[in-house]
Amino acid sequence: MNELTTASFDAFVTQSTKPVLVDFWATWCGPCKVMGPIIDELASEMADVEFAKVDCDAHAELAMRFNVLSIPTFVIMKGGSEVGRFSGSMSKETFKERLSNFVK
Amino acid sequence: MVHEVIIIGSGPAGYTAAIYAARAELKPLMFAGLQPGGQLMLTSEVENWPGEADGVMGPDLMEKLKKQALRFNTDIRQEEIAKVDFSKRPFTVTTSAGVEHQAKSVIISTGASAKWLNVPGEKELQGKGVSACATCDGFFFRGKEVVVVGGGDSAMEEATFLTRFATKVTLIHRSEAFRASKIMLERAQKNPKINFIMNTVVEQILGTEKVSGVRLKNSVTNEVTEMTADGVFAAIGHAPNTGIFKDFLKLDEKQYIVTEPGSTKTNVEGVFAAGDVADHYYRQAITTAGTGCMAALDAERWLAAQE
């Protein structure tokens, strides 16, 4: 899993040839803990998407820049720009379905 | 394969049932559901769990219960049950992916979920200032003003928790009487950052890109006012997660599962209910753990009597 920082974020999302799913999370957030293993599994199953994480505690500037007001929030980036987002905990099937709407 | 017991739900009731059933060598199969760990995953510090003298974080407590259930070989699946059939034996439960599993007995511990306000603007602004989890999202309201709606313990807890981040927390409650316990109410009342607005309901959540305020209506004078706010947290109570059981089990007028007094037996023999799904009165982590234990013992005895 790619752990992004305020310093590495922009280069990572603009240089990626694949769409990037960014998981905004934090250690104190129960639903984020639920989604963690699901995202890890999908990261190894879905070759057409790059998965990355942003720890909102350590990188609050990024959370602010993306106007994240609720976690977990998942932001999909293509060529450096946001193309969609969704938030909350959900089943693996639902997550996959919602993600695939943005990466087709 | 027909399992001895399937447990649906993974809050303190489900995990306690799993620990007892697993130690009784019933090889329980647990479906953790969409919110593994249940409501405690959305709380911060739990101060009243016996044995944790210094308090424990809700998610940490659930991690410990899960570990204990796994220690005795509970088979835990991170899947949701979408359908059940209790009309014939063995019972059938079907996951949201469409896979069927069968069991001689079922323990239901699907708990309850927080109710939304159901007012205009709420759905549209979810994740944009409308939040279902103060402990998850409070951090993003540093230096901002927020509204908490409700008059019970969870409203007091959320309001108090949010003062760590927000400059001002306004608690809006529809009446003058509080369901909250004295200790929680007093803690909130003493907090200089919390303002109380009584006899008032939220009519609408305002804002387009993000929450900008709320429209309020005084239920005594009918006066309508608007107030600015950056965040809205609803804590107006819970509804039981019993939708998939309603064709088979007796529910009360609030849709909670009815159990035989002093036991966890439902109206279907071999189906047991534990925790908040069958209790709108106590609703404590420790009482649901207690009924989870009862459900495992009830299931064990019922299974033994079938042989």
Class of domain A2-100: alpha beta
Task: Judge whether residue B133 has pLDDT over 90.
Answer: no
Question: What pLDDT does residue B45 have?
Answer: 83
Question: What pLDDT does residue A34 have?
Answer: 85
**Looking at beta carbons, which residues of chain A come within 8 Å of B12?**
none
Confidence of residue B53 (pLDDT cuts 50, 70, 90): very high
pLDDT-above-70 percentage for chain A: 100
Instruction: Kindly state the average pLDDT of the residues B215-241.
Output: 95
Question: What pLDDT does residue A89 have?
Answer: 84
Question: What pLDDT does residue A104 have?
Answer: 73
Residue A85 is classified by DSSP as E
Give the CB-side neighbour count of residue B268, counting CA atoms within 13 A: 25
Task: Judge whether residue A53 has pLDDT over 90.
Answer: yes
- Quick: pLDDT tens for B60-109: 999 999 999 999 999 999 889 999 999 999 999 999 989 999 999 999 99
Answer yes or no: do B137 and A38 touch at CB < 8 A: no
Q: State the nearest Cα–Cα gap between B125 and chain A, in angstroms.
A: 10
Task: Say if CB B202 and CB B149 are below 8 A apart.
Answer: yes
Answer yes or no: do B140 and A68 touch at CB < 8 A: yes
Question: What pLDDT does residue B199 have?
Answer: 97
Nearest residue on chain B to A95, alpha-carbon basis: B34
Instruction: Kindly state the average pLDDT of the residues B112-117.
Output: 93
Least confident of A28-32, B63-67, B243-247: A28-32
Q: Which of B34, B132, B136 lies at the smallest CB-CB distance from A91?
A: B34
- The pTM of the full predicted model, rounded to 2 decimals, is 0.83
- Quick: pLDDT tens for B189-200: 999 999 999 999
Answer yes or no: do B210 and A88 touch at CB < 8 A: no
Nearest residue on chain A to B43, alpha-carbon basis: A30
Q: State the nearest Cα–Cα gap between B226 and chain A, in angstroms.
A: 22
- A4, A13, A21, A29: the catalytic one is A29
**Looking at beta carbons, which residues of chain B come within 8 Å of A68?**
140
Instruction: Give the separation between CA A75 and CA A85, rounded to whole angstroms.
Output: 4
B225 — contact with chain A (CB < 8 Å)? no
Instruction: Kindly state the average pLDDT of the residues B161-189.
Output: 95
Question: What pLDDT does residue A30 have?
Answer: 86
Number of residue pairs across A and B with CB atoms under 8 Å? 82
Domain ranges (residues) in chain A = 2-100
List residues bridging with B149 in a β-sheet: B172, B234
- For chain A, which residues lie within 8 Å of any Cβ of chain B, measuring from their own Cβ? 26, 28-34, 37-38, 56-57, 63, 67-73, 85-93
Answer yes or no: do B136 and A32 touch at CB < 8 A: yes
Answer yes or no: do A70 and B40 touch at CB < 8 A: no
Question: What pLDDT does residue B88 have?
Answer: 96
Question: What pLDDT does residue B184 have?
Answer: 94
Nearest residue on chain B to A63, alpha-carbon basis: B140
Task: Judge whether residue A94 has pLDDT over 90.
Answer: no
What is the complex's ipTM, to 2 decimals?
A: 0.78
Task: Mark whether A56 is an active-site residue.
Answer: no
Buried b (16+ CB within 10 A) or exposed e, A24-53: bbbebbbbbbbbbebbeebbeebeebbbbb
Question: What pLDDT does residue B265 have?
Answer: 98
Sheet holding A20-25, edge to edge: A2-4, A50-55, A20-25, A73-78, A81-87
pLDDT-above-90 percentage for chain B: 88
Question: What pLDDT does residue B97 have?
Answer: 87
For tokens 């639902």, name the residue. Answer: A94
Instruction: Give the separation between CA B277 and CA A90, rounded to whole angstroms.
Output: 20
Confidence of residue A90 (pLDDT cuts 50, 70, 90): confident
Instruction: Give the separation between CA A17 and CA A38, rounded to whole angstroms.
Output: 23
Q: State the nearest Cα–Cα gap between A29 and chain B, in angstroms.
A: 5
Question: What pLDDT does residue B307 have?
Answer: 80
Instruction: Give the separation between CA A36 and CA A40, rounded to whole angstroms.
Output: 6
Nearest to B197 by CA among B228, B167, B170, B225: B170
Least confident of B1-10, B35-44, B158-167, B291-300: B35-44
**Looking at beta carbons, which residues of chain B come within 8 Å of A28?**
44, 57, 59, 135-136, 139
Buried b (16+ CB within 10 A) or exposed e, B16-40: bbbbbbbbbebebbbbbbbbbbbbb
pLDDT-above-70 percentage for chain B: 100
Catalytic residue IDs of B: 133, 136-137
> How far from B100 is each of A90, B93, B269, B270, CA to CA, in Å?
20, 6, 21, 18
Question: What pLDDT does residue B135 have?
Answer: 85
CA B78 to chain centroid: 18
Answer yes or no: do B37 and A30 touch at CB < 8 A: yes
Give the other-Cβ count within 10 Å of B307's Cβ: 4
Instruction: Give the separation between CA A76 and CA A20, rounded to whole angstroms.
Output: 6
Question: What pLDDT does residue B274 have?
Answer: 98
Task: Judge whether residue A43 has pLDDT over 80.
Answer: yes
Question: What pLDDT does residue A88 have?
Answer: 87
Least confident of A4-18, A82-96, B151-165: A82-96
* Window B:1-40, CB contacts with A under 8 Å: 34-37, 40
Nearest to B142 by CA among A72, A73, A61, A74: A61
Select from A27, A32, A69 the residue whose CB has the most chain B CBs within 10 Å, as the one to mutate to test that interface: A69
Confidence of residue B142 (pLDDT cuts 50, 70, 90): very high
Sequence-ordered list of residues with C-beta below 8 angstroms from that of B220, at least 6 positions apart, any chain: B199
Nearest to A33 by CA among B292, B131, B57: B57
Instruction: Give the separation between CA B141 and CA A5, rounded to whole angstroms.
Output: 21
